[in-house]
Structure 1
Amino acid sequence: MRAVVMQDRQVRLTELPEPVPGEGEVLVEVLACGICGSDLHCAQHGAEFNASIRAAHGVDVLDLDRPIVFGHEFVGQAVAYGPGTTGRVPIGGRVVSVPHLVRPDQPFLGFSGPETPGGYAERMVLSEELLLEVPDHVATEEAALTEPLAVAYHAVVRADLRPDDVPLVVGCGPIGLAIIAVLRMRGVGPIVAADFSVERRRLAESLGADLIVHPAQTSPYEVWKEAAASADGQPTAASGTSGTQLRPTVAFECVGVPGVIQQIVLGSPERSRIVVAGLCMTPDSFEPAQALVKELDLRFAFMYSPGEFARVFEHLVKGEFHIAPLITRTIGLDEVPEAFANLSSSPSDAKVLIVPGR
């Protein structure tokens, strides 16, 4: 089968043996798979990513001595069942799944080798017990957004949102845009969104952001504070020692570039919550004294639980997300190396989907 592999920071199209489903597993044809920012980061900073995970959990996620088949945002079509399965999803049925296999070593699909490829391949194996069947009325392209929406959903959960919170989304790349979609689905607002790219600001607006800010022209923090000022003269929360009365404020850092956390610390109203969802692969720093005197809450969000993945899929099936603008381009496997070269500097792309059969 055809597949895209990453090795030695190079992404290339090649041919691999078709994976064989083991006990309790199903072989699927990949219908669509999103390119995630973490794929781009790991291609260029795999050693740094391993070092961070090793320091936190004592393991390496990536085996950088072998080819890696990326792709953890996928939709597949059941092709064949392995031993010990029930066949509960008919052959030809479409499925999504959390990107893990139920094996003793629990391979993380999209970050493993050719034997357990991710969605940058024509076929892959999944664990039957983790499958969620995609109903006929849900488009394949939208189903492929389940995983990135689950990441955004978890970030919003980490914020402990209250009904009167005013959110600021800093950075309108794929994760920031997905967070906007989740916030809109949750009925939170007004949503303030900031990005230097005019194309991404337009995408933020189309996904439901209420106030769009060009940071080079206007301070997103001033717009955020103005949005948090009570409209009826009856504020819901006092902003600490400053005396300014504001609704509660929560910021989502979705850039992953050194210095952004400190900018948010400096610009945030007192007692704000800050959720870091951007993946920064290099050391960073901020001024703890500034966060302390403002009594800021600094939180980090990574991945999601299987339950959150299932809840996001349920919302998607019910049509409760407005997410179509997230998908800006579809490509074939042969176009992936060029897409990797261009995505880091492309202001017009949000979620690029790989369609292996294209």
Structure 2
Amino acid sequence: MKAAYILNGTVEVGDLPDPVPGKGHALVRTRSCGLCASEAHFLHAGQNVIDLSKQFGGPYAALDQSRPFVPGHEYVGEVIDYGPGSKRPVKPGRKVTSVPIMRQSGSHSVIGFNNDCPGGFGEYMLLDEDMLIEVPSGLDDDLAAMTEPLAVGLEHARRGIPTKEDCALVIGCGAIGLGVIAGLKLMGIAPIVAADYHEDRRAQAIAMGADIAVDPRTLSPYAPIPDLGNRQPNLVYECAGVPGLLQQIIQSVAFGARIVMGGYCMEADSLFVFAAQNKRLTVHFAGGEEAQDMELALRSIADGRVDVLPWIGARIGLSGVGSALAEMSGPLAPVRTVVDPRRL
């Protein structure tokens, strides 16, 4: 199959063996796949991610950078076939997505971050048949590919156990932060405050459902906000993954606040427990999406409750993956670029 793969920290495009499904595997032809910042990490700090997984436990410990691996975990594809003895829950020809986890054959791997579980930057993937979620046939492929990144935000939103009495603050309005805003909006939580340095992302936060979006350089998002009747956020979602930000939040929030850590920080960080204890703060550490989040995300996209079309920028073929990953961290980069691996 044709694929864009990473080998020794470099993106290559070429031919790799077609994956062969075993029992419990669905063979899927990829139709669209989003680019995530987690893939970009492996271009400049891949071995660090692997070493951290080995040291602290994590899904990337078995990844070998000296062998090619095909990234891409935000995908939609068409079922082609199944391995022998499979249950075959979705008919061939139907479109599917899934939580990007493979649990068949005694393994537990993240699809797209395992040498033997190619992701959506290749023409074909193997998916766990127990994880398959059928995609409505009329739903645009690129919109369907936004199911997984939206689901991450939905998981983070509910991890904070929000109530109608909360005033929520979302720090960082990339895909995760926008997904959190969407999740809070679906739960009827208001007001929602968004904070981001970039004007375009603040505008997207408002479009996603935030009541107000602030530039932290001009207005503290932690203080009482005049435009909200001086209400002060008491439920803070950290969606930036920046070292030192947790301590800043701890120092800035009011007594009894709750904090959800959703940003993916891979650097050592420090905090003063003393400060958090004196304020009786609660910190939740959010993880990846679960099946319930994927199903809600897909339904919400399909029925129009969450409009993810503004997230999508360029649609590229395999030859554009390397440059797109290199440029995706800039302030003017789209929330998501999507890859069609059927195109070079």
The Cα shift of 1:31 comes to 0.7
For 1:17, the aligned partner's letter is P
The Cα shift of 1:318 comes to 4.1
The Cα shift of 1:226 comes to 6.6
TM-score computed with the length of structure 2 as normaliser: 0.92
Alignment of 1:74-113 (within 5 A): 74-101=75-102, 102-113=104-115
Contact map agreement 1:25 1:125 (CA 8 A) in 2: yes
The aligned residue for residue 218 of structure 1 is 219
User: Equivalent residue of 2:81, what SS?
Assistant: strand
Contact map agreement 2:70 2:113 (CA 8 A) in 1: yes
For 2:76, the aligned partner's letter is V
The Cα shift of 1:322 comes to 2.9
Provide the rounded CA distance (Å) in 2 between the counterparts of 1:175 and 1:165: 20
Alignment of 1:1-358 (within 5 A): 1-57=1-57, 60-101=61-102, 102-113=104-115, 115-222=116-223, 227=228, 229=230, 249-358=234-343
Contact map agreement 1:192 1:223 (CA 8 A) in 2: no
Provide the rounded CA distance (Å) in 1 between the counterparts of 2:299 and 2:31: 20
For 2:335, the aligned partner's letter is A
Q: Which moved more, 1:334-343 or 1:2-11?
A: 2-11
Provide the rounded CA distance (Å) in 2 between the counterparts of 1:228 and 1:188: 16
Provide the rounded CA distance (Å) in 2 between the counterparts of 1:140 and 1:159: 31
For 2:2, the aligned partner's letter is R
Contact map agreement 2:121 2:341 (CA 8 A) in 1: yes
User: Equivalent residue of 1:220, what SS?
Assistant: coil
Provide the rounded CA distance (Å) in 2 between the counterparts of 1:299 and 1:207: 23
User: Equivalent residue of 1:85, what SS?
Assistant: coil
Provide the rounded CA distance (Å) in 2 between the counterparts of 1:9 and 1:47: 9
The Cα shift of 1:87 comes to 4.2
Q: Which moved more, 1:52-61 or 1:279-288?
A: 52-61
Structure 1 stretches of 5 or more lacking a match? 231-245
Provide the rounded CA distance (Å) in 2 between the counterparts of 1:45 and 1:225: 42
The Cα shift of 1:330 comes to 2.0
Provide the rounded CA distance (Å) in 2 between the counterparts of 1:223 and 1:340: 38
Superposed CA offset, 1:300-332 (max 9, x none): 111133343334334444443232222233221
Contact map agreement 2:40 2:325 (CA 8 A) in 1: yes
Superposed CA offset, 1:164-209 (max 9, x none): 2111111111111111121122221111111111111111121111
The Cα shift of 1:116 comes to 2.2
Superposed CA offset, 1:216-241 (max 9, x none): 222222255874746xxxxxxxxxxx
TM-score computed with the length of structure 1 as normaliser: 0.88
Provide the rounded CA distance (Å) in 2 between the counterparts of 1:191 and 1:183: 8
Structure 2 stretches of 5 or more lacking a match? none
Contact map agreement 1:181 1:322 (CA 8 A) in 2: no
Q: Percent identity, please.
A: 37
User: Equivalent residue of 2:106, what SS?
Assistant: coil
Superposed CA offset, 1:50-86 (max 9, x none): 2332333277152223222111111001122321235
User: Equivalent residue of 1:299, what SS?
Assistant: strand
User: Equivalent residue of 1:3, what SS?
Assistant: strand
- Please tell me the root mean square deviation across aligned C-alpha atoms, in Å: 2.1
User: Equivalent residue of 2:96, what SS?
Assistant: strand
User: Equivalent residue of 1:221, what SS?
Assistant: coil
The Cα shift of 1:32 comes to 0.8
The Cα shift of 1:42 comes to 3.1
The aligned residue for residue 238 of structure 1 is none
Provide the rounded CA distance (Å) in 2 between the counterparts of 1:112 and 1:285: 31
Q: How many residues align?
A: 341
For 1:40, the aligned partner's letter is A
Contact map agreement 1:29 1:76 (CA 8 A) in 2: yes
